Structure 1
Amino acid sequence: MVDDRDQVLGEAVRLREAGRREEARERLVALSARFPQDTEVAYQTAWVHDTLGLEAEAVPYYERALAGPGLSADDRRGALLGLGSTYRILGRYEEAVATLGDAAAEFPDDGALRTFLAMALYNTGRTHDAMEMLLTLLAATSKDPGIAGYRPAIEEYAKDLDATM
């Protein structure tokens, strides 16, 4: 039965990657019904719903994926990003900030998590926090020589955009 699970899961992931998302969704929904506690199956099922624009349907699968052990660190990071982003798209901004904030604390070197957190912060009216996060990330990661040349100033302004130097 587990061999069958692995085969169907692998096939569904290949279908999703090949752009045959609806076929992948059908297989994953059926597999998820057979293995309701399987976090990897739940994550893949959430992911395919997101790729189809079915965000509301993705949420319970993301939540199930994150509720138990079994996800690799990379899949856990992806599930947290997916859930937080999905909450934001659905207008559930406070839940997005909480999810993405916890994720960014768990994976502090992940710039994508901080970027999506900044968007959610913006949606909650916390524009200063959002700008600080984005400017700090930009200064730390940009390969643009003009930005790199102004890195110290950008980092300083990120702390308080209203301050004058």
Structure 2
Amino acid sequence: MTTQDRLQQAIHLRETGRAEEARALLLELVASAPDDAQVNYQAAWVHDNLGLEREAIPFYVRAIEKGLADADLEGALLGLGSTYRALGEYAKAIETFKRGIKEFPHNRAFSVFLAIALYNTQQYSESVELLLTHLAQTTVDENLVRYKRALLFYAPQLDQTWE
């Protein structure tokens, strides 16, 4: 069985709720193909699914360094940033989310997770600005749509008052 076949088997195991079996197989695959970006990405993913965030980090980092592209890179950056944030490594989370925003500007999840990390570092104005901006730009709630212009106006100047 090839590495690709075994990788597909591990993905299938993870997707069907057999994450521990997937993890064991992925650890074997990482040992035999340590520079394979996809193997490392899937290993990171399964560790995150199992609540093993700290163990997931090196796999995410290696997967990104070894050349993940497109949707996989997008997922890995979001996963890595979220994992850093969950572990209280806020500066690394912010840096990772900002990279994600730069490389995948269409994916608003990066900005929303960045807002959470900014909140965690007491950068409240920037956090709320991001959230208000994305809310105003994406909501279909007619009560909020009515105030879209006001929300976008106030978002970057939350501490300002007018007399």
Q: Pick the TM interval, shorter chain.
A: over 0.9
Report the Cα offset of residue 111 of structure 1: 0.9
Residue in 2 that maps onto 1:127:
124
In 2, Cα distance between equivalents of 1:15 and 1:44: 11
2:86 pairs with one of 80, 84, 89:
89
Secondary structure, aligned partner of 2:105: coil
Gaps of 5+ in 2: none
The answer to whether residue 49 in structure 2 is matched with residue 48 in structure 1 is no
Gaps of 5+ in 1: none
In 2, Cα distance between equivalents of 1:143 and 1:27: 44
1:142 pairs with one of 132, 135, 139:
139
TM alignment of 1:15-34, pairs within 5 A: 15-34=13-32
Alpha-carbon displacement from aligned partner over 1:44-73 (angstroms, at most 9, x marks no partner): 10000000000000000000001122x231
In 1, Cα distance between equivalents of 2:140 and 2:9: 39
Residue in 2 that maps onto 1:161:
158
In 1, Cα distance between equivalents of 2:151 and 2:56: 38
Residue in 1 that maps onto 2:70:
73
In 1, Cα distance between equivalents of 2:88 and 2:70: 27
Alpha-carbon displacement from aligned partner over 1:77-100 (angstroms, at most 9, x marks no partner): 100001111011111000100111
- The one-letter amino acid of 2:91's match is E
- The one-letter amino acid of 1:17's match is E
In 2, Cα distance between equivalents of 1:22 and 1:102: 31
In 1, Cα distance between equivalents of 2:159 and 2:122: 17
Report the Cα offset of residue 125 of structure 1: 1.2
- The one-letter amino acid of 1:102's match is R
Instruction: Tell me whether 3-12 or 130-139 shows the greater mean CA deviation.
Output: 3-12
Report the Cα offset of residue 148 of structure 1: 1.2
Give me the TM-score of the superposition, normalised by structure 1.
Answer: 0.94
In 1, Cα distance between equivalents of 2:74 and 2:101: 9
- What is the identity percentage for the equivalent residue pairs of Structure 1 and Structure 2? 49
Count of residue pairs the alignment pairs up: 162
In 2, Cα distance between equivalents of 1:131 and 1:105: 20
The answer to whether residue 112 in structure 2 is matched with residue 104 in structure 1 is no
| RMSD between superposed Cα atoms in Å | 1.1
Residue in 1 that maps onto 2:149:
152
Secondary structure, aligned partner of 1:36: coil
Moved over 6 A (4+): none
